Every structure is written in structure tokens, then in C-alpha cells.
Structure 1
Amino acid sequence: MIRTSRTTRITRAVVAALVVLVLLAALGFIYASPYIALDRVKRAADARDAQTVNQYVDFPALRASLKEQIAALLTRRVDIQKSGNPLAIIGAMIGAALVGPLVDSYATPDGVAAILNGIPPRGEPGERPPPQAGDAAPASSVMAGPPPPKEPPQTTAGYRSLNTFVVTYRHGAGDARYSAIFHRDGLVSWKLVAVDLNG
């Protein structure tokens, strides 16, 4: 009887320890899930695996975010140029017409690869994501984005809230920052939904 009681207590202790370990492992996986999603979408975008990229990117939300951010970039440029420049209104109209094609070029697996590799859109007319190694050079009539940086950008990543995860990129102390924003899509799934070109 004593042996059975002692065995029961040991069994309960072992079961309780296993339950705690499983819960800790599950919580650790849930916490790490956006880091895992970031790694997977970056690898898929670099490999041009559009099917996997589609699983980790909400393209309609990303497109809307890019449109808003690029329009804001162009507006700031026009505001700076307005002082003493009578052609600023024409420039603003041309810039507004170019937002759509620029957004469309970055709301693609190539654009996601550029964004996640530290090469955001700059809002330049005719700009496209830069070609990756092995790609053909872009046609001369289309302006590629900036060349890939010689060194990878400095990145910081972390939770902004329980359901928002932000990756911030910067190339150097004086360079502008920008952020890629992921939202939770289920318990452990995350999707890239926005870009903040102001950091």
C-alpha cells in the first residue's frame, strides 16, 4: 500500500512536470512564431517562391500601405519644392500618376524580397525593386531601385503589441529607418501587412 501511494505521487509529479514543460514549450513557440514567420517569408521571397510568400503576405493590405506611404513621400517632396517653383503642381500630378505602378512593382515577391533585405521604395518615378543576383538587368526605360547595399542593414525586431510585430531596418547612423509590420493571423501565424517608410 505504501509502495502504491509513493508510486502514485511520483507518477503525478512526473505528469505535472511534463505538463509544465509542454506548456512552456508551447508558449515559447507562440512567442517565437513571428521570428519564424519573418525567416520563412524572407527565404521564400529571396528564392522567388511566390506560393510561400503568398502565405506570409497580405498583399491587399501591403498594397494599401505602400500606396499611402509612397503618396506621403511624394507629398513631402512636392511641399519642399513648392517654394518658388511654379512647376511643382505639374510635378505633383506626375508623381500621383506614378504611385500606382510603383506600388504594383513592390507589392510582389520581388518587392517583398527588396523590403526584407533593406531596400525599400524611395518614391522615385519608374522605380522598381532592384534585380537579384542572376536576374537580367531591367530595361533601360524602367528605373531600378537602388543597388543592393554592400553590407546588410542593421535590424531590430520585436513585438509592438500582442498582435503586431515590427522589424526596423537601418543601414547606418545617418540613414533613414523604415519598418516592416506583421500582424498575427491566428495563434502562431503572421502576415506582412504594412510598411512604415518613416521608421
Structure 2
Amino acid sequence: MAIDPKDAFLHVIYDYRCLATAGYAWSVTGPAGAHIKEANLLLPEVGTMIQDSIHVHARSLIDFYTKQAPWPTDVVLSRFSSSISISAGRATYLESMKHPIEVHSLHLTEWRDVPYRTTNANTRDGATRGRPQWATENTVLVDQLIEALKEVSQQQSRWQKPFAELYSAVVARLTDGSYDWPTNLGEKRDVENYLVGLGL
């Protein structure tokens, strides 16, 4: 039996909250960040940890928006409304990032090996398993997922207001890492009370 959409929304909140926090951290401590040297003194190779966090949560959210044949237990956008979606171009971009994230962050595979990738670049799998320039692509990936949330938050549905509130919180956290996350998008009981108050 599927869980209540209110409970499912809690997990969407979690992945977006983590993505926004990692996105903020990447902006200040990633390769182009102003505080990379200080950050590495505290946590050596901190950029690797931040990048991994971006990839883990981005990969979950990519499926949330684009998975064509989800398992009955998958939390996907259509669970909230069959009438809302993201643009075809954005969906194409997000889908194009699935295999690079899997290969280079989530799966120990021969496709990580540069000579192997080069030799097999013209094969069916080779076309989707390249290694993006993560130093710049991480920011694009985070931005595209936040824009996807914005799109959903602007479409009329029973879930428009919660998605809009989540979008506002994500943008605020991405801009300011010290932003206090809203209580109504925090603990399970608070989220449930908020959604019940909206008639959900």
C-alpha cells in the first residue's frame, strides 16, 4: 500500500534541503569558492564530500521528475498530480546527467577509466557515460533542479502552495547557508500539520 502523499512530500523536502545546503557549500568552498583554502584546512578535500552530496540528492530528484516507469514504491512527481510536469528541455538535461552521476559517483565501473571511455566513446553506452566538468556542471545541475521546482510551484494543483513554499526555502538556503529552514518544512509532525492545514 502506498504511503500518504503528505509522508512522501517529507522525503522530497529532505532531498531538496540537502541539495540546497550542498549547493551553497559548493558556491563558497568549491573550486571557484572564496573559502576553499580555509575549508580544506578544516576538512581536507571538502569539495569531494560536497560534490558527492550534490550528486546523491540530485540523482534522487532526477528520478522524481523524469522516471518513466517507476516502481510502486518510488516517490515521483505524478504521485502529487498528474497535471503538472517540467519542461521537455529541462527533463532532457536532467536525464542526461543520470549516467554520468551513476558512473562517476555512485558505481565503481570501468567507465571511470579514461582509456576505456575513450576507446568505447562511440558505443551506445559510451555516448551517455562521459565525465562532465564537475567544477562547473555541479552548479548547473543544482540550478536546473531548483528551476524544475520553480516550474512545478507555478502550476495549478492542490500541491502548488507546498511546492512554492519549498521553492522559496530552497532558494533562501542556496543564497545564505545560515538561513533558518522553515518549521513547517522540517520535522514530520510539523510538515503534516502544515499540509493538513492546507486541506491535503
TM-score (norm 1): 0.23
> Higher Cα Rg: structure 1 or 2?
1
TM-score (norm 2): 0.23
Structure with more helix by fraction: 2
Indicate the structure whose relative CO is greater, using CA pairs within 8 Å and at least 6 residues apart: 2
